[in-house]
Structure 1
């Protein structure tokens, strides 16, 4: 993350996507990579990242981000309007919300086995870590382990709640089932 999050894109040396610049990545290559791993587009990814990095106490300078988009992100070739920046950020947030609900529903309803869930989590963690590395961020081992433990605990609670709901209690009133 930039040291001064109150700086504007023009006054801040921004190298979040420096690795992509070194690799001369273009939009199509980034899009192909993301299509195979996540549900957001390169445009949504870059703009969501910029909005997070350049957030100030009064909000985000979406006009400035849009005007300087090609300078800030090597695979973006043209500036965006304030409205396009806002829409890309909203699209990203919506896809994250939907992906979370889809994942939890699959786990909660046991459409995926515990082993499959473990594989999904491993792949998701590796993809997230890679994207963060591309952005130039470091994830400490302690942060990684803490996050994995939070997810593991949440998923255990989902599994327990699912089993209780399906086998022990009425989904409407919570009354104990099967004691007749």
Structure 2
């Protein structure tokens, strides 16, 4: 996908740019300070003899399209188009992928974060992983409420709402593609139809509410 600059290559580091590890080893966490999350504490370096990467971590290939990406560029892209940060996006995906019957493997995610996500350079504590996951969930809920209010308060026309949904869908599909999710045409159409169906219900509910107010 290359519409509106949605191309994973835009995140690649310039050849002459120093790596994040050479300039600021904690900058991928501190970059999110504007959201009030604060720097994420690092997990102490484990004993070299115990530094074996788990097999499922070695096989994890969700973000391979982001090899060579810089955290700051990924974060800037997300901030321009979503409420979440690059840290929250990556950790939310990892929490989904490393969920077990008894919970999420927070420790595994935190200790192996640089191996799992190319643009993350630091290890995180389980508490930091949980904080990022909770922040992601809270922002999604608030964004949903904001959008639905905007859709129901008669601020946007039906055509404008369609434009909003189209732009949102394109960004969401791009993020999924970057994660390595291959969406078929049928899956895309099905998702778009589900979204359109929900939007129709929202519009109908909004119209009914306004009609009731007029009657009163």
TM-score, length-scaled by structure 1: 0.86
Matched, 1:122 2:166: yes
Q: Distance in 1 between matches of 2:215 and 2:83?
A: 40
Matched, 1:99 2:143: yes
Name the SS for the 1:36 alignment partner.
Answer: helix
Q: Distance in 1 between matches of 2:105 and 2:161?
A: 39
Q: Distance in 2 between matches of 1:132 and 1:150?
A: 17
Map 1:76-155 to 2 at 5 A.
76-155=120-199
1:155 Cα deviation after fit: 1.1
1:116 Cα deviation after fit: 1.2
1:136 Cα deviation after fit: 0.5
Hey, what does 1:69 align to over in structure 2?
113
Unpaired runs of 5+ residues, structure 1, are: 1-8, 171-175
Matched, 1:14 2:60: yes
Q: How well do the aligned residues superpose, as a CA RMSD in angstroms?
A: 1.4
Deviation sequence 1:134-156 (CA, Å, 0-9, x none): 10011122222122111111111
Moved runs in structure 1, 4+ residues, more than 6 A? none
Name the SS for the 1:118 alignment partner.
Answer: helix
Q: Distance in 2 between matches of 1:142 and 1:122?
A: 17
1:113 Cα deviation after fit: 1.4
The one of 2, 16, 25 aligned to 2:69: 25
Hey, what does 1:48 align to over in structure 2?
92
Q: Distance in 2 between matches of 1:32 and 1:75?
A: 13
**Aligned pairs, number:** 162
Unpaired runs of 5+ residues, structure 2, are: 1-52
Q: Distance in 2 between matches of 1:110 and 1:147?
A: 25
Q: Distance in 2 between matches of 1:157 and 1:137?
A: 29
1:177 Cα deviation after fit: 2.4
